[in-house]
């Protein structure tokens, strides 16, 4: 296991929002986390990077590469975020400062993580951008000069720059049109195959679960109600809530079944 969340609770002053959740992500797998709005998926993922809002408190254990992140200090966590654990969010625009060029962002990111050679930083930035299918000339542009899909791809390039072992994607394609979303997901899957990083993928879109996930967990009101392999859950959901979520998903001409049938010759 690269990540093992054990009995994690997240609470505010007067209520428990995430209630004793356990969830594991294996090395190199694509793990989806689904559940209705407000079920606690984002807070759970923020707790992993110790990014919770200050009014919320996490308890339990979050074992990453064997050691408990809840016991790490802020400096250690800063070093870990970006290098071993990376995030991409729905709000890709928020990942970029408007008046800094794309190249400036890549440069700053690498400086913060200790790359002292300007030459190396420049070369890595160009390589990273090209690896997500973008022209290195975009490094000179500003965020508002890129499309949503291009920006999200640039965000993925940044997130993968330092070869993290875990990438947390929180509704990373929700704000994109379906063609751009598809491209971004294909890119994520390809980068995952290349780098072997694990992905914790938070989504509302069952088509993406069906296509990309290895395993998934279903969250309802702060608890995990069901976890397992994609085929098992999509074809034989055990929990009533999972069944309802799957039934409510838009089908768009293709069955939401796991796809096993199609894989048969
Ligand atoms: N800082 C906060 N203080 C108190 N409650 C919060 C805070 N942030 C979020 N919440 C509440 O915690 C619950 C879970 O929020 P969270 O964002 O994790 O849900 P989610 O499952 O990711 O939803 P969505 O799919 O809409 O993103 C919600 O009821 C939300 O209103």
Q: Give the domain ranges of the chain.
A: 3-263
SS3 82: coil
Tell how strand 3-11 and strand 16-25 pair up: antiparallel
Closest alpha carbon to 169 in 10, 3, 32, 70:
32
CATH node for 3-263 = 3.40.50.300
Instruction: Report the separation in Å between the CA atom of 186 and the middle of ligand 1, taken as the mean of its atom positions.
Output: 28
155 contact partners, CB below 8 Å, separation of at least 6: 88, 89, 92, 95, 96
pLDDT at residue 265, as a whole number: 44
What confidence tens digit (pLDDT) does each residue in 36-90 have?
Answer: 999 999 999 999 999 999 999 999 999 999 899 999 999 999 989 988 999 998 8
pLDDT at residue 253, as a whole number: 43
Q: Is the pLDDT of residue 229 over 90?
A: yes
Q: How many CA atoms lie within 13 A of 226 on its CB side?
A: 19
Task: Tell me the β-bridge partners of 62.
Answer: 5
What confidence tens digit (pLDDT) does each residue in 94-135 have?
Answer: 889 999 999 999 999 999 888 999 999 999 999 999 888 899
For helices 178-195 and 148-160, the axis angle rounded to 10 degrees is 20
Which atom of ligand 1 approaches the CA of 43 most closely? 18
**Given ligand 1 and candidates 10, 13, 40, which is best to mutate, with the most ligand atoms within 8 Å of its CB?**
40
Instruction: Report the separation in Å between the CA atom of 215 and the middle of ligand 1, taken as the mean of its atom positions.
Output: 23
d(CA 138, CA 158): 14
Instruction: Report the separation in Å between the CA atom of 42 and the middle of ligand 1, taken as the mean of its atom positions.
Output: 7
**Given ligand 1 and candidates 13, 16, 35, 38, which is best to mutate, with the most ligand atoms within 8 Å of its CB?**
38
pLDDT at residue 4, as a whole number: 97
35 contact partners, CB below 8 Å, separation of at least 6: 41, 218, 219, 220, 245
Instruction: Report the separation in Å between the CA atom of 202 and the middle of ligand 1, taken as the mean of its atom positions.
Output: 13
Q: Which residues line ligand 1 (CB under 6 A)?
A: 12, 17, 35, 37-43, 53, 55-56
d(CA 7, CA 5): 7
134 contact partners, CB below 8 Å, separation of at least 6: 150, 153, 154, 157
pLDDT at residue 46, as a whole number: 96
Lowest mean pLDDT among 91-95, 183-187, 220-224: 91-95
Strands (E), the chain: 3-11, 16-25, 30-34, 57-64, 67-68, 85-89, 166-170, 198-202, 215-220, 223-229
């Amino acid at each position: 296991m690269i990540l093992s969340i054990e009995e994690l609770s997240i609470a505010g002053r007067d209520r428990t929002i995430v209630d004793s959740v356990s969830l594991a992500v294996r090395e190199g797998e694509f793990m989806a986390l689904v559940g209705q709005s407000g079920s606690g998926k984002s807070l759970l993922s923020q707790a992993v990077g110790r990014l919770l809002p200050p009014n919320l408190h996490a308890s339990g254990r979050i074992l990453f590469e064997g050691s408990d992140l809840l016991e790490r200090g802020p400096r250690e966590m800063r070093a870990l975020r970006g290098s071993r654990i990376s995030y991409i969010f729905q709000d890709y625009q928020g990942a970029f400062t408007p008046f800094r060029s794309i190249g400036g962002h890549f440069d700053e990111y690498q400086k913060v993580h200790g790359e002292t050679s300007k030459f190396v930083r420049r070369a890595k930035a160009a390589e990273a951008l090209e690896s997500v299918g973008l022209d290195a000339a975009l490094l000179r542009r500003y965020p508002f000069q890129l499309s949503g899909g291009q920006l999200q791809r640039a965000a993925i390039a940044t997130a993968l720059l330092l070869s993290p072992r875990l990438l947390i994607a929180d509704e990373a394609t929700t704000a994109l049109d379906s063609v751009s979303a598809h491209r971004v997901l294909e890119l994520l899957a390809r980068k995952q195959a290349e780098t072997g990083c694990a992905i914790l993928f938070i989504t509302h879109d069952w088509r993406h679960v069906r296509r990309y996930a290895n395993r998934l967990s279903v969250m309802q009101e702060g608890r995990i109600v069901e976890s397992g392999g994609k085929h098992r859950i999509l074809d034989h959901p055990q929990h009533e809530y999972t069944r309802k979520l799957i039934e409510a998903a838009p089908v768009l001409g293709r069955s939401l079944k796991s796809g096993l049938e199609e894989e048969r010759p």
